[in-house]
Amino acid sequence: NFSSVSGFTASLPVEAKRLALQMRYFQCTTAGTIPEINRMLKFLFGRYGGAYVLDGLNMTMRYRFRFPLSWWMKFIFDDFDLLPRPAGVKITYSDGTRKYFGFGPYRVNFGHGNFGA
């Protein structure tokens, strides 16, 4: 069982526990560089479909997963802070299977750009 930041206890599947322990190991042993993290992501998430991290060049990093995230993966990422990163860097993650196209929120501005005809 794992306890979250909010204090409740959740029973996770065995696969989730293994992933959490492997992520914690990498978090403790990595220097937090982009190539090193990408190698770790290939090792951990290659069988699911792959993942990679992008450097925002402004003290942010974005993890991008190429497969739909399960509930327990989101739980691990949100409540245990196990995604490796250098000190002081803000991280976000997203499901990379969604396709976004257009402008503005919900693509309401599509077709109203100021592009020359």
Tell me: the pLDDT tens digits for 13-54? 899 889 999 999 998 898 888 999 999 999 999 998 889 999
- Binned at pLDDT 50, 70 and 90, residue 85 comes out as confident
Give the span between the Cα atoms of 79 and 115, in whole angstroms.
44
pLDDT for position 86: 85
Residue 38 to residue 2: CA distance in whole angstroms: 26
- Which ranges of 1-117 does DSSP label H, i.e. alpha helix? 14-29, 34-45, 71-80
pLDDT at 35: 92
pLDDT at 32: 84
Would you place residue 95 in the very low, low, confident or very high pLDDT band (cuts 50, 70, 90)?
A: confident
At residue 37, the pLDDT reads 92
Asked if 63 and 53 count as a contact pair (C-beta separation under 8 A), the reply is yes
CA atoms of 53 and 92, how far apart (whole Å): 10
Q: What pLDDT sits at residue 103?
A: 55
Q: Above pLDDT 70, what percent of the chain?
A: 74
